Amino acid sequence: MSGETGASPVSEIDQPEILQVLSPIWTEKHETARRVAQRMKAVLDVARSRGFREGENPVTVAIGAHVLPRVKAKVRHHNAMRWQDEPAFYAQLSQKSGMAAKALMVTCLTGCRTDLLP
């Protein structure tokens, strides 16, 4: 695979190319690498469904073969706001016009989590 973007046909992308992309970031930026892998898998699945490539998805094979090192996720929890401080915080948000402030207000009102997607 050459270093140029789009230089290889999708039918020629295999495990070495997948590993070339994922290996440098797999342990240091694991969440990013995981998302990149998901997107590559989706693109290659669509390419297969449209007849541009054959065989098993090389992303599935590379990750399933445990070629990349195992990464233990480092969970970082954020401190929760004291419920007594919430009314003043909400009042501050209501003074702002940005969409992020409005979205946070909805989160406050509904008590919903922001990480609902798997």
Please check whether residue 57 lies inside any domain of the structure: yes
Which DSSP string corresponds to 19-35?
HHHHTTTTTTTHHHHHH
Please check whether residue 41 lies inside any domain of the structure: yes
Please check whether residue 39 lies inside any domain of the structure: yes
Residues 14 and 56 both lie in one domain: yes
Q: Residues 6 or more apart from 90 whose CB is under 8 A from it?
A: 105, 108
What confidence tens digit (pLDDT) does each residue in 64-111 have? 888 888 888 777 788 888 889 999 999 999 999 999 999 999 988 887
Domain around 87: 77-118
Q: What is the pTM of this model?
A: 0.58
